[in-house]
Amino acid sequence: MQHVLLFQVYMAKSRSQIQKEYRERKKLKDGKNYLKKESARVIKYYVPAAELPTKERKKKKRKSKSPQPNT
């Protein structure tokens, strides 16, 4: 007796996976205009280390020096 697979079950996606796929679709659809906007969006959140309070700067430095898990 053969079993027939009628549908395929997918794992639920996390918010980060959904957002990543959305950005990929936007990149394919809008091209260079999207890349310009995305670049501006990312730069908006950048704060130079010299402008951070000492406590925040040390925390960030410690975090960046710690080994990152492989994903």
Q: Render pLDDT for 32-61 as a digit per residue (tens, 0 to 9).
A: 898 888 888 888 888 888 898 999 999 988
Residue 46 placed within a domain: yes
| Inside any domain, residue 37 | yes
CA-wise closest residue to 23 among 38, 36, 10 = 38
Whether residue 7 lies inside any domain: the answer is no
Tally of domains within the chain: 1
- Per the structure, the complete domain to which residue 29 belongs is given by 15-65
Is position 38 within any domain? yes
CA distance 24 to 65: 30
- Tell me, yes or no, if the pTM score tops 0.85: no
Residue 9 in any domain: the answer is no
Neighbours of 25 (CB within 10 A): 11
Regarding predicted confidence, which is higher, 29 or 2?
29
